Amino acid sequence: MAVYLRVHLTRFAVRQSTLAHLTERVLSAVGESRSELSLELIGERRMRRLNREYRKKDRPTDVLAFPIREAVMPRGMRPVTQMLGDVVISLPTAVRQAREARRSIDDELAMLLVHGVLHLCGYDHECNQREAARMSRRERALFHRISPVPRIVTFRTERRTRGH
């Protein structure tokens, strides 16, 4: 399993190896332990551009998922590629949502990662209420399975301390 991680932010310090390991745990939890995934953390302007280009919605969003292979394949068929797809997360949006929900940025980031990976696996909460409820249940179960979420993100203005 390989996680290709890109972080295009200057206001945040991201523990990339910790985030890559968490992503591997999510992939394993959804039964995709042999799959590869591209994960990118970006700002709101770039996210708005992507959302406008690919979803025709001219506003930023928290997470976008771009599947590379079909999640549902006929029985007995093997994927042509190990690459599951791309997950793109707006870290500033995640920070705002975490504050509003009164939870840690790391938990919010993990929830968005789980949400994006489930989209790559064929879940789609936008198709109907039943599927939305199914995806929501799966998200909660996966989040519980990968918890506790380690510290991943700090603001660049925070001082790092030595020790534990």
Sketch the domain layout of the chain as residue ranges.
2-155
Query: In the numeric block, which tokens belong to residue 33?
Result: 């332990």
At 164 the pLDDT is 47
At 71 the pLDDT is 44
At 50 the pLDDT is 96
**Where does residue 117 rank: exposed (0-12), middle (13-18), buried (19+ CB within 10 A)?**
buried
18 neighbors 152 (Cβ within 8 angstroms): yes
Kindly report the pTM of this predicted structure: 0.87
At 66 the pLDDT is 95
Say which CATH superfamily domain 2-155 falls into: Metalloproteases ("zincins"), catalytic domain (3.40.390.30)
The three state secondary structure string of the chain is: CEEEEEECCCCEEECHHHHHHHHHHHHHHCCCCCCEEEEEEECHHHHHHHHHHHHCCCCCCCEEEEECCCCCCCCCCCCCCCEEEEEEEEHHHHHHHHHHHCCCHHHHHHHHHHHHHHHHCCCCCCCCHHHHHHHHHHHHHHHHHHCCCCCCEEECCCCCCCCC
Question: Which segments of the chain have a pLDDT < 70?
Answer: 70-80, 157-164
The answer to whether the Cα torsion of 94, 134, 64, 72 is positive or negative is: positive
At 142 the pLDDT is 97
Largest CA distance in the chain: 53
